[in-house]
Amino acid sequence: MLTRKNFIQHTAFATAGLSLFELTQPAKAAELKIHLERIAGLEANNAAKDEEFWGWVREQYTTSPTITNFNNGGVSPQPKQVQDAHIRNYQYCNEAPSYFMWRQLDLGREPLRAKLAELAGCSPEEVAINRNTTEGLNSIIFGLNLKAGDEVVISNFDYPNMVNAWHQREKREGIKLNIVKLDLPIENDEVFVEKFEKAITSKTKVVHITHVINWTGQILPVRKIADMAHKKGCEVIVDGAHSFAHLNFKISDLGCDYFATSLHKWLCAPFGTGMMFVKKEKIKNIWPLLSAPEPESDDIRKFEGLGTRSFPAEMAIANAIDFHLLIGSERKEARLRYLKNRWSEMAKTISKVQLFTSLKPEYSCAIANFAIEGWKPEDIDAKLFEKWKIHVTTINHENVHGVRVTPHVYTSLKDVDLLAKAIIEITGMEPPKK
């Protein structure tokens, strides 16, 4: 039901997005205004099916006309507006790099921090702008004060860059890892909470949770796990590489102490842009990974001593936020789930197809993973590309041996239907004999 609150939210999103075009492209702004006015009154699940609006969104991208890209989970393309802003910033900086980059463009850093904080639902004083999730989470993992014998809970489905960081602390300093064994998909919050709870001992200091598992798209009930972990005196780190700007939530909803994400995934910001959140009162306890003049200060900026990096890319994050707001977080999540459901619900009806992803809305959104009986993931990947020019990625992790499919906001129903048709055809083919 459309409430006054969500009407105002939709209208606010529309206004934020429109300013993106009004000055430079008035014709485009007028066209967009018509779409936004039409969908403003719709529930997100209905707006998710407004093909005229999503067709408009698609036109804002410059994606390949010959390849159907279903590996947006790896890294996402940027809409043209974001690419243009990035290139504009880049050319501007090249006029006199040290002046335009450090004295001019960098004036945008604090407004950008505020904008990211508003999107993330936290204070700007809790947001560090960096290059990716790996950098953010490694800063936290290596920055925490832990000593030999302290325990950390992770899972067998966490991302290797973080698992390796924890293993390094294990080898070097003698901390102990307790690895929760998940058997995905899981469709019960209490099962997750119980599994993490069982791994916590009186020596556990930290619980590390991946919000959306990259291998299968499984969504974890982070809030419930975090609340349980806090009751037991643990701190909570969340890997939000795949949840931020994909699911409609605020970091404060998760109840975590630390969170990091890559903005080149779901936000569609330039490649090599990321964000880290540290709860204000925790900042002083985390040692920065890269040197800072006052490593024990409680200023979040101590994590931004990255040396020279791409300011042009960083500053175009603001343009990506505008584009995201134009779509609206709730509408985006609904559309992504709609696209995933369209192919996966069909695939689920084929007896030879196995899904490694729950189709319940609370446990998955855009990402899903499937296998076909008798076929290796690599052979499905090759066949999809050879015959239909569909690009996916293969997953071989734990008991998951399948193909991961990740649409994005520019994905059309035609793309999804092509994939569905391809899956049907492959299930009728003989797998390659190797």
Ligand X SMILES: Cc1ncc(COP(=O)(O)O)c(C=O)c1O
Neighbours of 359 (CB within 10 A): 17
Q: How far is the CB of 75 from ligand X (least distance, A)?
A: 7
Distance CA 329, CA 148 (A): 42
| Of residues 35 and 264, the one with the C-beta less far from ligand X | 264
Alpha carbon dihedral 330, 335, 338, 343, in 10-degree steps, equals -150
Residues 6+ apart with CB under 8 A from 320: 78, 79, 82, 263, 267, 268, 269, 270
Q: How far is the CB of 189 from ligand X (least distance, A)?
A: 20
Q: How far is the CB of 270 from ligand X (least distance, A)?
A: 12
| Of residues 39 and 241, the one with the C-beta less far from ligand X | 241
Distance CA 109, CA 350 (A): 51
| Of residues 93 and 206, the one with the C-beta less far from ligand X | 206
Q: How far is the CB of 134 from ligand X (least distance, A)?
A: 3
Distance CA 23, CA 25 (A): 6
Positions in the binding site for ligand X (CB under 6 A): 132-134, 159, 161, 210, 214, 239, 241-242, 262
Going by C-alpha positions, the residue among 235, 213, 216 that lies closest to residue 159 is: 213
Give me the count of residues in the chain: 434
- The DSSP result for 359-404, as a single string, is -STTT-SS-EEEEETT--HHHHHHHHHHHH-EE-EEEEETTEEEEE
Q: How far is the CB of 242 from ligand X (least distance, A)?
A: 5
| Of residues 68 and 261, the one with the C-beta less far from ligand X | 261
| Of residues 239 and 314, the one with the C-beta less far from ligand X | 239
CB 260 within 8 A of CB 273: no
Residue closest to ligand X when measured from CB atoms = 214
Q: How far is the CB of 390 from ligand X (least distance, A)?
A: 20
| Of residues 262 and 364, the one with the C-beta less far from ligand X | 262
Going by C-alpha positions, the residue among 206, 326, 211, 312 that lies closest to residue 267 is: 326
